Amino acid sequence: MRILAGTLGSVPVTLFGLVFITFLIGRVVPIDPVLAVVGDRAPQSVVEQARREMGLDRPLPVQFARYVGNLLHGDLGRSVMTSHSVISDIGTFFPATMELATLAILLATAVGIPLGVLAAVRRGSWADQAIRVGTLCGWSVPVFVLALLALLVFYATLGWSPGPGRQDVVFQDMDPTVTGFLTIDTALAGDWDAFRDALAHLILPSLVLAVTNLATIARMTRAFMLDALGSEYIVTARAKGLSAARVVWRHAFANIGVRLVTVLALTYAGLLEGAVLTETVFSWPGIGQYLTGSLLNADMNAVLGATLVIGLTYVLLNLLADLAYRVLDPRVR
C-alpha cells in the first residue's frame, strides 16, 4: 500500500509541473492571444480592454493562480477557431483520435509481437531476414507517403476504401453520441448501415498507423526475445526436455512482458497524441488536426488545452504501465 500510495502520490506533482510548464509556454511564445481574439486591425483601446478582461495585464503569479483555478473548475477557456469551449472541443475531437489509435495499436500488437518472436526464434533464417527488412521499410517510410499511397491504391484505384473523412455525409449526426466512438455509438443505436460506413472509414487510416508502429513493436520484441533466449534459464528449460513452444512462450516471452508493456504504453500514448500527418491526409477530425489548426490560428486556449490533455494521457498511461509491472513481475511486488 505504501508503494502504491507513493506511485499515485507522484501523479499530482507531475500534473502540477505539466500545468506550470504549459502555462509558461503559453506566455513566452511569440503569439498574442489578444490579437487572435480582436484581430490585427483593432484599435489600441480595444486591445487593452480585451487584455484586461482576459487578465493578461496582471502579474504572472496572479495569472497562474487564476489559470489553475479555472482548470480545477474544468474551464479551459473558449476556442477562437470554433467559438466553443475548449473542453467541449476536446470531448469531440479526442474520442476520434482514441478510436483510431486503439484499433491501430491492437492491429500493430497482434501482428508485431508474433513477427518479433518468429524472427528471434528463427534468427538468421530467411524468415528473420524478411521480417527485419519489412519492418525496417515500414519504420523508414514517411507516414504521409504511406497514407497517400494507401489512398491512391485502395480508394482511387481499387475502390475498396470509402476515402477520407470519418463518416459519409449521409450518416452524419443521425445517431446520438454516447461514447464518441462512431463504431460503438452506431452499434448501440442499431444503425448497422452507419456502423459499416464508420468501420470502413476507420480501417484504412488505422492500417497505415498500424504498419508504422508494428515495425517498432516487432523490432523491439525481437531484441528482447534474443536477449531472453540467450539466458541460462532457457538452457535449463531445454535441458529438462520442455517443448519448444513452452520454452519460447512460457519462459522466454513471459520474462520480456514487463519491457514490452513500456513499449506498448509509449506507442499508444504517441498515437493518442494525435497522428497529425495521418489525420491531415485522411481528413480525420482528431486531436492532432485540432491542435495543428489551433496553433496556425494562434488559438492559445485550444493549444494549451490540447497540450494538457496529451500530457495527462502520457502520465496516466505511464501510471498504468507501472501498475502493470507489479502484476507481471513478482520481483517488483
Torsion angle of alpha carbons 229, 232, 233, 236, nearest 10°? 110
Domain map (residue ranges) of the chain = 2-72, 90-328
φ, ψ at 59 (rounded to 5°): -60, 155
pLDDT of residue 109: 92
What homologous superfamily is domain 90-328 in, according to CATH? MetI-like (1.10.3720.10)
Number of helices (H) and strands (E), helices first, in the chain?
16, 0
Residue 30: Cβ-neighbour burial (10 angstroms; 0-12, 13-18, 19+)? exposed
Q: What tens-digit pLDDT sequence spans the chain (333 residues)?
A: 666 666 666 778 888 888 888 888 777 776 677 776 777 777 777 778 877 877 777 888 888 888 888 888 888 888 877 878 888 888 888 899 989 999 999 999 999 999 999 999 888 889 889 998 988 888 888 888 888 898 888 888 888 888 788 888 888 878 888 888 888 989 888 888 889 998 999 999 999 989 888 888 999 999 999 888 888 888 888 888 878 888 888 888 888 888 888 888 888 888 877 577 888 888 888 888 888 888 877 788 888 888 888 888 888 888 888 777 777 766 666
Q: Model pTM?
A: 0.83
Long-range CB contacts (within 8 A, 24+) of 161-166: 161/200, 161/201, 161/203, 161/204, 162/197, 162/200, 162/201, 163/201, 164/281, 164/282, 164/283, 164/284, 165/201, 165/282, 165/283, 165/284, 166/96, 166/198, 166/201, 166/202, 166/283, 166/284, 166/285
pLDDT of residue 206: 92
DSSP 3-state of 78: strand
